[in-house]
């Protein structure tokens, strides 16, 4: 079998799909992250994809090494391109052997996968109503953004607002609802210590990105103030970016993103490293259907994954829901806060290619919100 073609699709709201075709009629699908440099990712995907035309799609590790080992290693753009192509190669291989991808990675390590639902917004309010909606839909775990923008030192009123929102959920559901709280890297170390300590009595499931990953030395200081599990990893790419996290030993949960770190096998390798350090895994997956399907393949065969992020039903900027392009929608059917293991070949998706082709003609422009602090300085989003 030989790779014959690479095609890239830009899909609203912020997804980039890639299709890898072969001379035996088996196609594989992957997904890349658009971020704010969509055209750069698309151009790079064609450039890198053309390097593997005529190659054997089953040699996934060999092709990964060749694509990864550019002179300027890694980087988020290079890494998301490699991730999308690698997913597509696993999709082809699974379809050829008529098994889900996880069967080629050691087989199932669990019976089902627990999922959580995201609530709120960038400036969360009325979270109790949203949590009630998720609870009524069978979810027993949610995640919310902790706070609006915070300056290096800011008003305790903003901290109290966070406490009040989380308290409203805890008072209504007790411990029948797990609550993950995402600082989203928008909190600087001085306020992160305050916020983390004030949240601890509410017993969060975890605190995510309490500071930006480039300030990773602050993780140990914040960990001295709380016993709440700390999580990070959604912005890191390849296993080498996780090395310091593992050596530092204070993060409890890593959150690799299959569409950023280098694909399915790279995510599995990172999770295995985490297992050796007695760390849990909660993969980052807020994007489209292909990335989520690929992540579920990793979850199925990875024992230290304890919960999975997903964004079903969230329409960004009036874009599409991840089910809109999937014909076999039952693969993302959640029951009592769990999703069944995938059972179809490859990534397990039957995609609506006609709709993908149609929507991709409309183009894609995705920009993150631009926030400022009360004094006009730039704030993290």
- Please report, for residues 80, 89, 196, 259, the alpha-carbon distance to residue 83 in angstroms, rounded to integers and kept in the order given: 5, 10, 33, 5
Q: Global pTM?
A: 0.95
Contact 273, 240 (CB under 8 A): no
Q: What percent of the chain has pLDDT over 70?
A: 96
Mean per-residue pLDDT, 30-57: 93
Residue with tokens 């009629």: 25
**What are the chain's domains?**
3-99 (3.30.390.10), 103-346 (3.20.20.120)
Contact 284, 256 (CB under 8 A): yes
Mean per-residue pLDDT, 29-41: 90
The predicted-structure confidence for 152-182, as pLDDT tens digits, reads as follows 999 999 999 999 999 999 999 999 999 999 9
**Most distant pair of Cα atoms in the chain: their distance:** 63
Nearest CA to 177 out of 128, 214, 221 is that of 128
Residue 97 has pLDDT above 60, yes or no: yes
Q: What percent of the chain has pLDDT over 90?
A: 85
Over 222-251, what HEC string results? Answer: HHCCCCCCEEECCCCCCHHHHHHHHHHCCC
Beta pairing partners, 281: 254, 305
Q: How confident is the model at residue 312 (pLDDT cuts 50, 70, 90)?
A: confident
Averaging pLDDT over each range in 126-130, 292-296, 314-318, 374-378, which range is the top one?
A: 292-296
Mean per-residue pLDDT, 100-128: 89
**Tell me, what's the pLDDT at 316?**
55
Residue 318 has pLDDT above 70, yes or no: no
**Tell me, what's the pLDDT at 155?**
95
Mean per-residue pLDDT, 274-286: 97
Mean per-residue pLDDT, 137-150: 92
Q: When comparing pLDDT for 369 and 293, which is higher?
A: 293
**Tell me, what's the pLDDT at 121?**
64
Residue 130 has pLDDT above 80, yes or no: yes
Contact 166, 199 (CB under 8 A): yes
What's the chain's average pLDDT?
93
Q: How confident is the model at residue 134 (pLDDT cuts 50, 70, 90)?
A: very high
> What residues contact residue 84 under an 8 Å CB cut-off, 6+ apart?
16, 17, 18, 30, 31, 32, 45, 259, 263
Q: Range with the lowest mean pLDDT among 128-132, 193-197, 310-314, 349-353? A: 310-314
The predicted-structure confidence for 353-375, as pLDDT tens digits, reads as follows 999 999 999 988 777 778 899 89
Give ∠ CA 5-8-12 in degrees, rounded to 5: 160
Mean per-residue pLDDT, 272-278: 98
Task: Estimate the share of the chain in helix, then strand, then coil, as percent rounded to the nearest 5.
Answer: 40, 20, 40
Q: Is 184 a catalytic residue?
A: yes
Mean per-residue pLDDT, 198-212: 97
Give ∠ CA 147-79-184 in degrees, rounded to 5: 5
Q: When comparing pLDDT for 169 and 35, which is higher?
A: 169
**Tell me, what's the pLDDT at 313?**
67
Residue 142 has pLDDT above 90, yes or no: yes
**Tell me, what's the pLDDT at 341?**
97
**Tell me, what's the pLDDT at 70?**
79
| Catalytic choice (68, 237, 284, 315) | 284
Residue 315 has pLDDT above 70, yes or no: no
| Catalytic choice (68, 184, 188, 237) | 184
């Amino acid at each position: 079998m030989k790779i014959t073609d690479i095609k890239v699709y830009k899909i609203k709201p912020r997804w980039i799909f890639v299709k890898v075709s072969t001379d035996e009629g088996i196609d594989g699908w992957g997904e890349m992250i658009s971020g704010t440099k969509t055209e750069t990712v698309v151009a790079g995907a064609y450039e890198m994809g053309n390097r593997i035309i005529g190659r054997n799609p089953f040699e996934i590790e060999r092709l990964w090494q060749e694509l990864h080992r550019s002179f300027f290693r890694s980087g988020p753009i290079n890494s998301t391109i490699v991730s999308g192509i690698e997913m597509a190669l696993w999709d082809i291989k699974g379809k050829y052997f008529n098994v889900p991808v996880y069967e080629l990675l050691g087989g199932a390590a669990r019976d089902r996968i627990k999922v959580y639902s995201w609530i709120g917004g960038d400036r969360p309010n009325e979270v109790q109503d949203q949590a009630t909606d998720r609870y009524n839909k069978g979810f027993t775990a949610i995640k919310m953004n902790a706070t609006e923008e915070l300056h290096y030192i800011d008003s305790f009123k903003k901290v109290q607002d966070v406490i009040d929102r989380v308290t409203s959920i805890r008072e209504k559901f007790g411990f029948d609802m797990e609550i993950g709280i995402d600082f989203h890297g928008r909190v600087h170390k001085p306020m992160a210590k305050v916020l983390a300590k004030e949240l601890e009595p509410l017993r969060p499931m975890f605190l995510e990105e309490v500071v930006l990953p480039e300030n990773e030395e602050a993780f140990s200081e914040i960990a001295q103030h709380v016993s709440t599990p700390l999580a990070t990893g959604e912005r890191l790419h390849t296993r080498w970016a996780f090395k310091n996290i593992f050596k530092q030993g204070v993060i409890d949960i890593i959150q690799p993103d299959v569409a950023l770190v280098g694909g399915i096998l790279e995510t599995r390798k990172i999770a295995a490293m985490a297992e050796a350090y007695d760390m849990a895994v909660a993969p980052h997956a807020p994007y489209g259907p292909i990335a989520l399907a690929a992540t579920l393949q990793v979850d199925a065969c990875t024992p230290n994954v304890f919960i999975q992020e997903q964004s079903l039903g969230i329409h960004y900027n009036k874009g599409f829901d991840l089910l809109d392009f999937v014909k076999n929608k039952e693969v993302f059917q959640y029951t009592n806060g769990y999703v069944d293991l995938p059972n179809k070949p490859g990534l397990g998706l039957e995609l609506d290619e006609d709709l993908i082709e149609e929507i991709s003609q409309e183009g894609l422009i995705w920009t993150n919100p631009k926030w400022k602090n009360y004094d006009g300085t730039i704030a993290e989003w």
